[in-house]
Structure 1
């Protein structure tokens, strides 16, 4: 065991160090995202790397689509242009296209530091200019004498298709968009304006208009890309915040578990360390109080011994209640269930409380409904519940008051115990306080009634372990009624007749087994 302790300590230190490193990384990530999102300049400028990545990714994905389009254009152009010239143009276009693809692949494989360099944007712009110029050569190819207007219309349609394609590919980098489309538009416009026919003037004007339209479309696509990147950054920011919150939650849970272990160890130690001297204090003070070894000459000493004995018992009860509540909260309190009559438990507790009630001239009234069956429950736990509730009722009921106890059926078919007193009651705003551990109402504080404030917490916990319910109703100046109930699932499938009144019963004594 001794050799395992250092290993466990080292493992715990390593885990804590990893958590600390993780929190620092999360903090840096959150700080970077916040600095980007909170920059006073245009937020779009902060997404240069992301937009370059989109540009390169689009080029790579269109690696085989562009050659297919160029092949179709070349095949149709053979009707008006010499095949040798078309083949040469096709080869040049394919080479410029794959040059851009290779450049995009190189960018994707580059490290983050290399991607930050501005040379990549110049390379992309230059590559797109060369690529656009290769398509511009198509509109300068010499055509045969009998080509007619068909080739002109085909050239204009090709211009629209290629400009649209380049707009979609280069929209994330506006400089590249202009570099890939302007050469074609300028060549086609100049070529059409050199002709004297009205149709050529019309097509030249439409080419310029198409260039403007696709440029505006490219700007809109750029805005959409920036919006998408902003949403992605917000999502990353939220994920980073959640990761940080999760790390903090893990750390808080670890600390809570460590504190709970420390509390359990403390309670286990203190229960032994306090109970041992308390037993001696209670024993000797009781001997002195009862004058077992002879009468005391001074009456004050006898009073002091009684005070010591009472204080010791109060402290012992406090320790026991704290330990009971701790065991219940830790899930270590086991129920030893058996078939029992709930009214028997209530009657026994009432008998135990008769002395205290008689000392304050308080009348105890007990009633129950007939035919109540046995319940499957822990007798010790139910006795503790009823004693705590009866003790509170007698404690806070003034002299000459009444405490009424009733056992009966719930509306769901279970059984309940109701304890109602004629005490001062509890203000509505103080009810949540008295239901908490160590919580006490203003009346208990003013009257300095001895108590720990743990009784109702223990009652709620024990009833909860039986799947039951706890309710407290109080009216200021009229009294308080506390009801605990057990579910119908804990009823046994037989009943026995019981009559009212403490100390009188009319029931068979034979035990009956519970059927399935």
Structure 2
């Protein structure tokens, strides 16, 4: 009998409608990575950004230079009493106004990349005009002031102007040189023509100061370029992270689709296989019991028994695969009711008792007295306990012992522990046996092999109950499997420990 898939969605194994997204995403990642690896941090790569920063600095500090010129003019008039310095002030302010005008115009124009060299030259010409104005300041003279007094005033004014210009123009490469090379030239010419020691000393001081400030402004310029280069790198890294996250989300979606397709396939195939397998089991049972008449050949009867045992083993494997596929597909619904964990454990011990006696394995039960009911799926909990008990019987050697405990957890929940003294599991293999289809070396060597789905199913069922599964094992010391149900699954709250004596244990021993 064929099992039809109920919805059209179930027929879709993997959605390939978005497969084209990987190509542009991968291309973007490669381009970003290449840009990060080969990107240049040279100043030429950030001329436009640096020029815009200079324009902003020039506009924000536009009032500083007029204040300095006004202060120098006022002091000059006070010292000399000559108003000729006012002419110099007007020339200097006019040159400064040209620079501010250029900055305002550039800000409104929003400079394109190909216009950067043009605007840079314009600003450098503006700085050259300022330099000529400061060179004119050097030529000012005051006979009434005295050489030393006026030289001190002149030198102080030039040093302040030099420092102010360095701070205001370090974003514009070579601007400081364009401004103060005319000043140094004027001082040098004056020193050569007059031979005045004051002018010679002033020339040396201004020249050395200029060299030092040129060096410092160059370092500051490079530092700003480096900061600017870090910004696109940061943006590129963020973009690459976002692209990588997009790829990860896409890969996770495809993995989930593939896992869902696998679960659907397993569920469908399990149904398809169980139908003819049930017929094989039924007919082999009829033949082995000779319901329709005796089999003349005893070998045939033996064969039918083998067919029936093999069919049952295969049916158990298919049922495990079907259970796991239902859990992974999210279609394993719990039918919860109030049941006693002690009673279920007791029934399951009776179900495996025959197999245990065949291997002379003793099963000892230690149950807490007065355990309240828990709100669980009885069929699922029986499956958990039977899986754990079957594993314990399967891997315990003849003459061994199995201990089954049911009791309280520290948090008020209930636990079931099944401990054997079998060969145990190496600690490094515990994650393997807890994974789907995973089997340890002991299980692989054992004659009783399964699918490796028992423990994953136990984990999944307990997770559906908000519980926990713990597997403890050491080689040649045995294995302990612990199934824990949370306190909210217990229908009666546990009284305070100090109010009641320690509960007695109900011990049962199965020889």
Pick one of 85, 91, 95 that aligns with 2:94.
91
**CA deviation after TM superposition for structure 1 residue 19, in Å:** 5.4
**Offset of 1:25 from its aligned partner?**
2.7
Q: Does 1:31 align with 2:44?
A: no
Asked if structure 1 preserves the Cα contact closer than 8 Å seen for 2:92 and 2:130, the reply is no
CA distance in 1, matches of 2:201, 2:104: 36
Deviation at 1:320, TM superposition (A): 2.1
8 Å CA contact 1:166, 1:181 repeated in 2: no
Alignment of 1:358-437 (within 5 A): 358-437=357-436
Q: TM-score, structure 2 length as denominator?
A: 0.82
Per-residue deviation at 1:474?
2.7
- 8 Å CA contact 2:400, 2:421 repeated in 1: yes
Alpha carbons of 1:17 and 1:402: their partners in 2 closer, same or farther (altered >3 Å)? closer
Partner of 1:235: 234
Q: Distance in 2 between matches of 1:22 and 1:481?
A: 49
Q: Give the structure 2 partner of residue 248 of structure 1.
A: 247
Report Cα offsets for 1:451-487 as digits up to 9, x if no partner. 1111111112222333333222334334322222223
- Structure 2 contact 366–404 (Cα < 8 Å) conserved: yes
TM-score by length of 1: 0.82
CA–CA distance in structure 2, aligned partners of residues 124 and 26 of structure 1: 40
Match of 1:62 among 27, 34, 58: 58
Relative contact order, higher structure (CA 8 A, sep 6+): 2
SS in 1 for 2:292: coil
The CA distance in 2 between the partners of 1:410 and 1:372, in whole Å, is 12
Q: Distance in 2 between matches of 1:62 and 1:370?
A: 88
CA shift in 2, pair 1:139/1:299, >3 Å: farther
Deviation at 1:71, TM superposition (A): 5.1
CA RMSD of aligned residues (A): 3.4
| Residues 227-236 or 417-426, more deviating | 227-236
Within 5 Å, which residues of 2 pair with 1:255-334? Answer: 255-334=254-333
From 108, 111, 136, the counterpart of 1:109? 111
Q: 1:186 to 1:282 in 2, by over 3 A?
A: farther
Q: Secondary structure at the match of 1:477?
A: coil
Alpha-carbon offset, residue 345 of structure 1? 0.9
User: Which SS does the other structure have where 1:354 is aligned?
Assistant: helix
Q: Do the aligned residues in 2 keep the contact of 1:372 with 1:497 (CA within 8 Å)?
A: no
1:363 is displaced (CA, Å) by 2.6
1:20 aligned onto 2:19: no
Question: Are 1:288 and 1:302, in contact at CA under 8 Å, matched by a contact in 2?
Answer: yes
Counterparts of 1:136 and 1:30 in 2: how far apart (Å)?
A: 52
Is the Cα–Cα contact under 8 Å of residues 376 and 492 in structure 1 kept in the other structure? yes
CA offsets 1:208-261 (integer angstroms, 9 cap, x no match): 121122112113213422442454455345334423422331231132132123
Which residue number in structure 1 is paired with residue 166 of structure 2? 167
CA contact (8 A) 1:470 1:485 kept: yes
CA drift of 1:349 comes to 1.0
Whether contact under 8 Å (1:414, 1:487) holds in the other structure is yes
Comparing 370-379 with 79-88, greater Cα deviation is found at: 79-88
Distance 2:434 2:476 in 1: 19
Alpha-carbon offset, residue 375 of structure 1 = 2.1
The 3-state SS of whatever aligns with 1:389 is helix
Per-residue deviation, residues 322-379 of structure 1 (Å, max 9, x unmatched): 2322333344433333322210110111122123223333332222122222223222
- On the 8 A contact 2:361/2:400 being kept in 1, the answer is yes
Q: Distance in 2 between matches of 1:68 and 1:249?
A: 54
Are 1:167 and 1:177, in contact at CA under 8 Å, matched by a contact in 2? yes
Cα distance change, pair 502–332 in 1 and its aligned pair in 2 (3 A): farther
Task: Call closer, same or farther: CA 1:456–1:268 in 2, change over 3 Å.
Answer: closer
In the aligned structure 2, how far is the partner of 1:216 from the partner of 1:339? Answer: 85
Asked if the contact 1:347–1:502 (Cα under 8 Å) also holds between the matched residues in 2, the reply is no
**1:49 alignment partner in structure 2:** 45
Indicate the larger mover: 421-430 or 456-465: 421-430
Q: Distance in 2 between matches of 1:331 and 1:395?
A: 30
User: Within 2, Cα distance between the matches of 1:100 and 1:192?
Assistant: 36
Deviation of 1:23 after TM superposition, in Å, equals: 3.5
Q: Secondary structure at the match of 2:59?
A: coil
- The answer to whether the 8 Å contact 1:63/1:98 transfers is no
Query: Aligned in 2, Cα 1:178/1:197: closer, same or farther, shift over 3 Å?
Result: closer
Number of residue pairs matched by the alignment: 483
Query: 2:21, 2:136 → 1: CA distance?
Result: 61
Q: Distance in 1 between matches of 2:466 and 2:221?
A: 62
Inter-partner Cα distance in structure 1 for 2:95 and 2:127:
14
How many Å separate the matches in 2 of 1:90 and 1:481?
92
Consecutive unaligned residues of structure 1, counting only runs of 5 or more, are: 38-43, 504-516
In structure 2, the residue matched to 1:180 is: 179
Paired residues of 1:60 and 1:105 also in contact (CA < 8 A): no
8 Å contact from structure 1 (residues 74, 90) kept in 2: no
Go from structure 1 to structure 2 and tell me whether the alpha carbon gap of 1:92 and 1:237 turns closer, same or farther (over 3 Å shift): closer
1:2-37 Cα deviation digits (max 9, x unpaired): xx99xx9xx974x55455334323321221221126
Is 1:444 the counterpart of 2:475? The answer is no
The separation in 2 between residues aligned to 1:176 and 1:369, in whole angstroms, is: 90
- Structure 2 partner of 1:476: 475
Structure 1's 143 and 71: CA in aligned 2 closer, same or farther, altered over 3 A? Answer: farther
